[in-house]
Amino acid sequence: MTQQKSFAAHDVGTLYLVPTPIGNLEDMTVRAVHVLQQVDLIAAEDTRNTQKLLNHFEIATKQISFHEHNTQARIPELLAKLAAGHSIAQVSDAGMPSISDPGKELVAAAIEAGIPVVPLPGANAATTALIASGLPPQPFMFYGFLPRKASEQKAALTALATQPQTVIFYESPYRLAKTLTSMAAVFGDRPAVLARELTKKFEEFARGTLLELADWAQDNARGEFVVMVGPAPAVEKAPSTVPLPEQVQARIDAGARPNDAIKAVAKDNGLKKQDVYNAYHELEG
Ligand code: SAM
C-alpha cells in the first residue's frame, strides 16, 4: 500500500493533470489557469494547439511535447525533472488527460517513482454528454473508442452486449453510421443518444434507437460525437422446473440454514418467503 498526501510539503515536484476545454474556452477553470501559470513546464499533446490556449489565458509557461508517439522516450526525462523538484502539468488537446488521450503511462510511472499526482476536475466529453442524455446516469461504463477492425469491434461489442448499464463511446463522424448499425446488430435496437459538438455553437442531442440514429447519422455526422447506449434489458429468468421443496433441500444439503435456504429460493423464484416455507413444509397456502 502507498499513500499520497497531495498538498503536504514534498521535496519532489508534483505532476498536475489539467483538463482543457472541449470546445468552449469558458470551460477552462480558474484553478486550471493558475496551475498552468505556476508550474515549471507543461507537457502537451500538441504544443501548437496548446499555445493558442496559453495565449488566450496569458500563460507564459514553457511547453514540451508529450504524445502517444513519444510517451516512452519522454517519461524518464519528465520523471527526472519531477524528481529534481520541478512541477509539471500534463494536458491533452481537449478534455481530461488520460481519457482516450495520452497520460496514463506517465501517471503510472510517476506513482511508481513516488511523485504526487494531482488531478484537476474539468471538461470531459463523456460525463458532459451523459448528464443530458436522459439515459440512466448510473451505473455507467465508459468505453471510449471501439477497435476499428471489424472482427475486433464485433468481439468488443459482444462482450458489452449484456452490460446492465449505460455504455459511453467516442466515435469519429466518419465511422458513426456504420458503428451504430453494428451496435444494433449485436445489442438489438436499443435506446441510445448521440451528443454532438458539446459546448460548441452547433451542440445537438439526437435521442432514439440505435437504428434510428444510424439512419440520422447518414446525413448528419459532422463534428465530434459521444455515443451513449442504454443498458441491456433485464433478462427474464426462466422459472426453475425443480420443485420448490427440492430447491430448498439442495441448499440445506449444501450447508445453508433452513431459513436462509427458504429466503434464497424465494428470491430466485420471485416468490414470497411464506409461500416457499409453506411448500417446503407441505402446508396449504
Ligand atoms: N480527453 C477527452 C475527454 O476528456 O473527453 C477525449 C479526447 S478523444 C481523443 C476525442 C473524442 O472525444 C472525440 O472523437 C469525440 O468522440 C469526443 N469529444 C471530444 N470533444 C467533444 C465535443 N465537444 N462534443 C462531442 N464529443 C466530443
The per-residue pLDDT for range 105-139, each reduced to its tens digit, is 999 999 999 999 999 999 999 999 999 999 999 99
Regarding the beta carbon of 100 and ligand 1, being less than 6 Å apart is answered yes
- Total structural domains within the chain: 3
CATH number, domain with residue 26:
3.40.1010.10
Q: Is 94 in the pocket of ligand 1 (CB under 6 A)?
A: yes
Domain membership flag for residue 98: yes
21 and 114 both lie in a single domain: yes
Residue type at 16 in one-letter notation: Y
Q: Which three cell numbers stand for residue 18?
A: 489539467
pLDDT of residue 284: 57
Residue 209, ligand 1, Cβ within 6 A: no
Residue 275 near residue 245 (C-beta atoms within 8 A) = no
Q: How far apart are CA 102 and CA 133, in angstroms?
A: 27
Query: Is the residue at 170 inside a domain?
Result: yes
Residue 237 lies in a domain: no
Of 9-18, 98-107, 227-236, 238-247, the least confident: 238-247
Distance between Cα 125 and ligand 1 center (Å) = 5
Radius of gyration in angstroms for the set of CA atoms belonging to the chain, rounded to a whole number: 26
Which pLDDT score, from 0 to 100, does residue 234 have?
83
Exposed e or buried b for every residue in 29-44, given b needs 16+ CB within 10 A?
A: beebbebbeebebbbb
- Whole-structure pTM value: 0.85
The residue whose CB lies within 8 Å of the most ligand 1 atoms, and thus the one to mutate among 172, 202, 224, 228, is 224
**What is the DSSP-derived secondary structure letter of residue 227?**
E
Q: What is the mean pLDDT of residues 36-43?
A: 98
**Whose Cα sits closest to atom 19 in ligand 1?**
125
Q: What amino acid occupies position 196? A: R
Q: Identify whether residues 142 and 90 lie together within a single domain.
A: no
220 versus 236: the higher-pLDDT residue is 220
Residues 142 and 77 in one domain: no
Does the beta carbon of 195 sit less than 6 angstroms from any atom of ligand 1?
yes
Q: Are 19 and 32 in contact (CB under 8 A)?
A: yes
